[in-house]
């Protein structure tokens, strides 16, 4: 049986732009999957999705008019139920066969045709039949109904259909937008399917204003895209339309000259692609006086409100030119250009007005206003939150400076005191003012600019650049791959801000569940991890969390332990995403290293150790030691040489006295790889110990308790030394 290509299009009113591509892909994929499940399309069929502002469509190659018949075997009932003692069919069996359409003109022959097969403990009867393959008419109807039912519609609307009865509009349907047309072509033949009150045909409508003909008629399924583009002035493919817009944007920027480039924003490009059917990029401009406003404000208002593409110069600075993606292509585009320039001007004027008004008040004068802004009903106002961030930031700064001094003993004490006081002063000022831009006019209009505007206003108030940068940076990293704060002041305030959120939400029991994380606690935890790791800060994680708890007073319960575990879980997940194996990550993170900047070195050391021939045996021995010590949790790492009796334990202790000091010295110097490789020398004496020494000495042996305790102390000493870098038992198979 020959196949033909299938085209299905649903013509609707303007679809939600941010969901268009997802809707188009889902419509095509579900439609194709259903046809393949029914045997009307093969696994080799090629599926092409189309999505424009007013249509969803799918082109599927190699579709059959009718699916092949299939042999079907159905279980009927146990033999004991279906046949009597004489082997004849019971009424129950005959009734079942009749329901299945079996030929019962000769019941004995019908029974003889049944198959017997074991079914659990009993034997059952099975009926073989030939299931008629689905026709395209019925199969496509089912597939189309399923595709529409499974569309990821962000919000359903209800509308009424025209009816032939005396009360038009009596029938109502639910869909993402009112549908007005349906095309279903198998080759050049219309497939008679219906959906949403529409019957399939071979015509649709093109561009609202620029279609060459209306309606647009398709001769066959394969001519869909070309006919729609030529006769309907519509580029049906989302991907092709997006590529065409990107090409025109680059071409228009080149015509402007001066090395300008349109701003890169894939989400904006997707949204604009979903708004136009026939893109036409035009160059517009605005008055240069608006460039005195921070460019982030101008860029945001042009992108968010107008869907324009600002043009940046080679240095990344905003120019007074911008690009518009129009949905029409008039011979004289001046009216379109002028209209867009008139529309954007009031927006930019508003931004300039907000900026000018905000600068009339200092950030310090706005601190009191935060007391009127509710942060959380259990955690108080933004003003209270600021005081907590200040306290946490001070504690972090003290820890950080102590760590810097410890790592740099050559620092002059007087110079160190001056540097410490300056750091603490900048940190406190930045923490106090970091949230004040929330009560400015600009951030009230554009919440996305919080922090950014605070940095500009801090510079306007002549505050130190470290303070201005910290205010701007304290939300960083805002997302995966975002940059980190530039200076230590910004790092401290950003970490304090994230820890305040984490400790506060954990303290009141507001934890993330499943895919719900309304306070972005996972992102905040990853932000803390990134700052500690990438900046290699000399800060202990448990101390950081514990020192943040007192800032809340009695508003929270102490959640330091649960929060620390949560952060380690996020660290483990992040490391696995970076390509480290689950075993490697588990070995390191299970030890809960306090300085997260060391984690990468520990992982490298574990990977190098795992490659050694001694590694499997030592990992297995370590696991055995861990299991033994779990039963004796009070044992100290202490060895009495007098109580070492067996040759194997004496030999192991002797090797330990030589190897462990070297490994510990290498660990203390931060050379984790060398430390683990040094421990590899323990393999032979450890194997010999377990082969020749009984740790749990029987009670009938003289001094059994002392010997047992001493051997446990020996293993405890060995266990502590072997697991300083990572829990090697986690590497055991």
Q: Which domain holds residue 650?
A: 599-731
The answer on pLDDT for 528 being more than 90 is yes
Contacts of 224 (CB under 8 A, 6+ apart): 7, 9, 50, 57, 59, 183, 185, 218, 236
Do 228 and 245 have their domain in common? no
Do 242 and 222 have their domain in common? no
Q: Token digits for 112?
A: 């003889």
- More confident site: 597 or 635: 597
Do 258 and 353 have their domain in common? yes
How do beta strands 203-204 and 216-217 pair?
antiparallel
Mean pLDDT, range 261-285, rounded to an integer: 96
CB 35 within 8 A of CB 139: yes
Average pLDDT in the chain:
90
Residue 180: inside a domain: yes
The maximal CA–CA distance of the chain, rounded, in angstroms, is 111
CA dihedral of 102, 107, 113, 115, whole degrees rounded to 10: 90
Residue that is last in its domain, among 232, 250, 280: 232
Residue 364: inside a domain: no
Domain count, the chain: 5
Kindly report, residue by residue over 149-190, the tens digit of the pLDDT. 999 987 888 888 765 444 455 677 889 899 999 999 999 999
Residue 208, number of CB atoms within 10 A of its CB = 15
State the pLDDT at residue 412: 62
CB 189 within 8 A of CB 21: no
Residue that is last in its domain, among 80, 105, 131: 131
Q: What is the DSSP string of 309-359?
A: EEEE-TTS-EEEEEEEEES---S-THHHHHHHHHHHHHHHHHHHHHHHHHT
Residue that is last in its domain, among 131, 164, 181: 131
Running DSSP on this structure, what letter comes out for residue 410? Answer: T
Kindly report, residue by residue over 204-239, the tens digit of the pLDDT. 999 999 999 999 999 999 999 999 999 999 999 999
State the pLDDT at residue 404: 67
Do 335 and 462 have their domain in common? no
Kindly report, residue by residue over 14-40, the tens digit of the pLDDT. 999 999 999 999 999 999 999 998 888
CB 412 within 8 A of CB 405: no
The answer on pLDDT for 52 being more than 90 is yes
Do 555 and 664 have their domain in common? no
Do 36 and 89 have their domain in common? no
CB 684 within 8 A of CB 651: no
The answer on pLDDT for 457 being more than 70 is yes
State the pLDDT at residue 629: 85
Do 153 and 107 have their domain in common? no
Do 41 and 186 have their domain in common? yes
What percent of the chain lies above the pLDDT cut of 90? 61
The answer on pLDDT for 618 being more than 60 is yes
Cα 317 off chain centre by: 31
State the pLDDT at residue 223: 95
Kindly report, residue by residue over 132-145, the tens digit of the pLDDT. 778 889 999 999 99
Mean pLDDT, range 234-254, rounded to an integer: 96
- More confident site: 703 or 149: 149
pLDDT band at 75 (very low <50, low <70, confident <90, very high): confident
CB 51 within 8 A of CB 14: no
The answer on pLDDT for 351 being more than 60 is yes
How do beta strands 194-195 and 198-199 pair?
antiparallel
Mean pLDDT, range 447-456, rounded to an integer: 95
Residue 47, number of CB atoms within 10 A of its CB = 18
State the pLDDT at residue 166: 46
Q: Among candidates 563, 517, 504, 558, which has minimal Cα distance to 380?
A: 504
End-to-end CA distance of the chain: 55
- More confident site: 133 or 262: 262
Contacts of 319 (CB under 8 A, 6+ apart): 258, 260, 291, 310, 311, 312, 313
Kindly report, residue by residue over 284-333, the tens digit of the pLDDT. 999 999 999 999 999 999 998 899 999 999 999 999 999 999 999 999 99
Do 319 and 213 have their domain in common? no
CB 693 within 8 A of CB 628: no
Kindly report, residue by residue over 662-690, the tens digit of the pLDDT. 999 999 888 999 999 998 888 898 889 88
Q: Token digits for 185?
A: 């072509």
Question: Which pTM was predicted?
Answer: 0.80
Helix residue spans in 611-682 (DSSP H):
615-630, 647-668, 672-679
Do 560 and 618 have their domain in common? no
Alpha carbons 328 and 278: distance in angstroms, whole number: 7
Q: Token digits for 188?
A: 């050049």
């Amino acid at each position: 049986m020959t196949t033909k290509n299938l085209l299905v299009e649903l013509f609707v009113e303007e679809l939600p732009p941010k969901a268009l591509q997802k809707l188009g892909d889902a419509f095509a994929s579900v439609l194709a999957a259903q046809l393949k499940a029914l045997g009307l399309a093969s696994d080799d069929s090629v599926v092409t999705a189309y999505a424009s502002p007013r249509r969803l469509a799918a082109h599927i190659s190699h579709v059959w008019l009718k699916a092949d018949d299939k042999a079907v075997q159905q279980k009927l009932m146990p033999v004991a139920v279906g046949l009597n003692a004489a082997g004849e069919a019971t009424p129950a069996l005959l009734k079942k066969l009749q329901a299945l359409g079996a030929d019962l003109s000769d019941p004995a022959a019908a029974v003889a045709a049944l198959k017997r097969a074991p079914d659990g403990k009993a034997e059952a009867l099975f009926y073989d039949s030939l299931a008629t393959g689905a026709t395209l008419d019925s199969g496509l109807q089912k597939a189309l109904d399923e595709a529409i039912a499974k569309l990821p519609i962000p919000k359903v609307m209800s509308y009424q259909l025209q009816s032939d009865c005396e009360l038009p509009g009596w029938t109502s349907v639910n869909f993402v937008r009112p549908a007005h047309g349906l095309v279903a072509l198998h080759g050049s033949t219309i497939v008679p399917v219906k959906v949403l009150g529409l019957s399939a045909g071979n015509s649709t409508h093109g561009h609202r204003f620029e279609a060459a003909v209306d309606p647009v008629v398709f001769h066959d399924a394969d001519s869909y895209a070309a006919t729609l583009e030529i006769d309907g002035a519509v580029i049906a493919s989302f991907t092709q339309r997006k590529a065409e817009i990107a090409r025109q944007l680059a071409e228009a920027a080149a015509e402007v000259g001066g090395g300008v480039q349109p701003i890169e924003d894939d989400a904006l490009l997707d949204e604009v692609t979903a708004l136009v059917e026939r893109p036409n990029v035009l160059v517009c401009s605005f008055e240069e006086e608006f460039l005195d406003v921070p460019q982030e404000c101008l860029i945001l208002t042009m992108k968010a409100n107008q869907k324009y593409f600002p043009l940046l110069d080679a240095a990344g600075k905003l120019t007074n030119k911008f690009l518009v993606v129009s949905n029409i292509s008039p011979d004289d585009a001046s009216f379109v250009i002028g209209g867009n320039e008139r529309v954007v001007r009031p927006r930019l004027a508003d931004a300039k007005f907000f900026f000018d008004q905000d600068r009339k008040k200092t950030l310090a004068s706005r601190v009191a206003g935060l007391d009127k802004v509710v942060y959380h009903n259990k955690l108080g106002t933004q003003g209270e939150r600021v005081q907590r961030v200040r306290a946490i930031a001070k504690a972090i700064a003290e820890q950080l400076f102590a760590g810097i001094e410890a790592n740099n003993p050559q620092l002059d004490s007087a110079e160190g005191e001056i540097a410490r006081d300056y750091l603490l002063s900048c940190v406190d000022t930045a923490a106090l003012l970091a949230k004040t831009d929330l009560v400015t006019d600009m951030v009230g209009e554009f919440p996305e600019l919080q922090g950014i505007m605070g940095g500009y206003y801090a510079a306007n108030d002549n505050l130190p650049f470290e303070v201005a940068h910290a205010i701007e940076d304290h939300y960083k990293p805002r997302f995966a791959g975002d940059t980190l704060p530039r200076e230590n002041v910004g790092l401290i305030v950003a970490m304090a801000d994230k820890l305040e959120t984490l400790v506060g939400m954990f303290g009141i029991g507001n934890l993330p569940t499943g895919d719900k994380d309304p306070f972005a606690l996972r992102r905040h935890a990853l932000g803390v991890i990134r700052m500690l790791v990438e900046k290699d800060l000399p800060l202990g994680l448990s101390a950081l969390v514990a020192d943040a708890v007192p800032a809340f007073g009695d508003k929270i319960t102490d959640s330091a332990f649960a929060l620390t575990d949560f952060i380690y879980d996020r660290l483990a997940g992040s490391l696995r995403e970076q390509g480290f194996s689950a075993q490697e990550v588990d070995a390191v993170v299970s030890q809960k290293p306090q300085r997260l900047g060391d984690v990468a070195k520990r992982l490298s050391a574990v990977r190098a150790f795992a490659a050694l021939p001694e590694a499997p045996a030592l990992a297995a021995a370590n696991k055995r030691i861990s299991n033994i010590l779990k039963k004796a949790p009070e044992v100290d790492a202490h060895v009495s040489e007098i109580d070492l009796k067996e040759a194997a334990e004496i030999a192991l202790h002797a090797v330990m006295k030589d190897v462990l000091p070297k490994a510990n010295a290498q660990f203390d110097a931060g050379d984790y790889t060398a430390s683990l490789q040094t421990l590899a020398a323990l393999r032979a004496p450890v194997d010999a110990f377990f082969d020749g020494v009984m740790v749990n000495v029987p009670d009938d042996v003289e001094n059994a308790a002392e010997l047992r305790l001493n051997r446990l102390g020996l293993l405890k000493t060995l266990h502590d030394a072997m697991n300083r870098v990572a829990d090697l038992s986690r590497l055991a198979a």
